[in-house]
Amino acid sequence: MPGEEVFIGSIDQGTTSTRFIIYDRSAKPIASHQLEFTQFYPQAGWVEHDPNEILESVRVCISKAIDKATAEGHNVHGGLKAIGLTNQRETTVVWSKSTGRPLYNAVVWMDIRTSPICRKLEQELPGGRTHFVDTCGLPISTYFSALKLLWLLENVDAVKEAVKSGDALFGTIDTWLIWNLTGGVGNGLHVTDISNASRTMLMNLKTLDWDKPTLDALGIPSGILPKIISNSEIIGNITEGWPITGIPIAGCLGDQHAAMLGQACRKGEAKSTYGTGAFILLNTGEETIKSNHGLLSTLAYKLGPKAPTNYALEGSIAIAGAAVQWLRDSLGIISSASEIEELASKVDSTGGVYFVPAFNGLFAPWWRDDARGVCIGITRFTNKSHIARAVLESMCFQVKDVLDSMHKDAGDTGETKNEKGEFLLRVDGGATVNNLLMQIQADLLGNPVVRPADIETTALGAAYAAGLAVGIWTEDEIFSAGEKMKKATTFQPVLEEGLRKKKVESWCKAVSRTFDLADLSL
């Protein structure tokens, strides 16, 4: 009977678009809607979003997805049990408690306007770039929310005044959405989940709370910060004025942590999500591993207020799918992202071309915000197919750089291998539909790459967290890997080892050419 159906909704708020997906009891998606929103580039290296446009995109996606499900005969309004939320991490918003209006555009995770603040802190603090690593697991970098908040405090008068008067609220996009979904002005809940909090640079990885010495060192007032909660618990109900009301928000995770849960990554298992950027996380269980090879120590997930905390090693790559968008939107080499596979397949190699997409510097494991993009090895023989293939290879080389660092940091005991002694990389995200990309990835790693039947594991992870909190699923059901692996596609490496090593050496040479280019005269 339709009235007996059970559904979980998932808000997936990414860097370029928002989606709302409705899952049934078997975790099968029955309806969804996706909407792109505007990217603003006020200056070179600056990236902003309109927080109100993101809010409206959530409203539209929920409404349209429910309409689609209803049109197919599903009683979503009667069967929807909870909503999960996952979001682009580190993107920073400050808004007015009394009016609900943003005091500036959202400063996006890949924005590098905070470079001067980073250099200043590195010089002033005794620990330099790694001053806060022992506390939060993160180096001083343009990537993290605390630095973006410092820029807003220093450069936006409306933010300064609101903080002074006690009217300012800070949050990442999860916080902004939950505050509005649960009532906004007067009633909105000011919270963030543990995974998003771990990416601000302000949370202590051991206490799982805001770190007072860090706040004091940076001059950030604690009163503007949200309360930190777990990834799976009933947070609050959606209020009047939204397409659904009275439904509990019961799960919240940053997008990469949600993908880990969607991929059912237990201790020793890793996943790579290919989106605007690429993000590789290795679950290290209930212990933090300090990286000596350019990675971040961070949270994996905490599935309930009293549940054990799983930690992770992470390598973040700023530009992955965004390089394909650049080929499409800025160069016009392709007219849609899906065309790159066919174009790149017209050649069997890059013809010696290497492309390093350091558009906004390089993240893990290099951490060079002075890097800029290069395309080298070009000859008269080079055509657009070689360039397209080099762009795909750049995504895979960057993932390999991160995984090589993970292998060094975690060691053999920190990684789970199959009966053949192989380390499997689970992959997800929109770009993984590209079979050539996945084969290149397996070839450059020298290890199998496993793509699940449902590649949208970020949204699925948020749904799992919400469903777990309201009793729709158990942890055993979520982590039962057997059935999921049967439906997965595995890409086996076929590249000869000698050629692999030679290509990696050439890639490293290309990366070294990107350094110290930020001050090139325009």
pLDDT in tens, the chain (522 residues): 344 789 999 999 998 899 999 999 999 999 999 999 999 999 988 999 999 999 999 999 999 999 999 999 999 888 999 999 999 999 999 999 999 999 999 999 989 999 999 999 999 999 998 999 999 999 999 989 999 999 999 999 999 999 999 999 999 999 999 999 999 999 999 999 999 999 999 999 999 999 999 999 999 999 999 999 999 999 999 999 999 999 999 999 999 999 999 988 899 999 999 988 899 999 999 988 888 888 988 999 999 999 999 999 999 888 898 899 999 999 999 999 889 999 999 999 999 999 999 988 888 888 888 899 999 999 999 999 999 999 999 999 999 999 999 989 988 777 787 778 888 899 988 889 999 999 999 999 999 999 988 888 899 999 999 999 999 999 998 988 555 666 789 999 999 999 999 999 999 999 999 998 887 755
Cβ-contact 22, 31 below 8 angstroms: yes
**Cα Rg for the chain, rounded, in angstroms?**
22
Per-residue b/e over 454-477, b at no fewer than 16 CB within 10 Å? bbbbbbbbbbbbbbbbbebbeeee
- Give the chain's domains with CATH numbers: 90-229 (3.30.420.40), 321-401+498-513 (3.30.420.40)
Reported residue count of the chain is 522
List, in sequence order, every residue forming a beta bridge with 89; answer none if it has no partner: none
CA-to-CA distance for 32 and 34, rounded, in angstroms?
7
Residue 430: the pLDDT is 84
Enumerate the H helices of 33-167 as residue ranges: 51-71, 76-79, 115-124, 133-136, 145-155, 157-165
Q: What distance, in Å, lies between the first and last C-alpha atoms of the chain? A: 66
Within 8 A by CB and 6+ apart from 405, the residues are 291, 293, 294, 295, 315, 364, 365
Q: How far is CA 247 from CA 58, 82, 390, in A?
A: 15, 6, 47
CA-to-CA distance for 5 and 165, rounded, in angstroms?
49
Which amino acid does the sequence have at 3? G
Residue 430 DSSP label: G
The three state secondary structure string of 138-149 is CCCCCCCHHHHH
Considering the entire predicted model, what is its pTM? 0.87
- Taking the mean position of all CA atoms in its chain, how far away is CA 17? 13
Residue 68: the pLDDT is 96
CA-to-CA distance for 8 and 313, rounded, in angstroms?
29
Residue 1: the pLDDT is 36
Within 8 A by CB and 6+ apart from 55, the residues are 176, 177, 180
Residue 343: the pLDDT is 95
Cβ-contact 389, 346 below 8 angstroms: no
Phi, psi (rounded to 5 degrees) for 444 = -75, -30
126 C-beta neighbours (distance < 10 Å), count: 5
Give the three-state DSSP class for 331.
Answer: helix
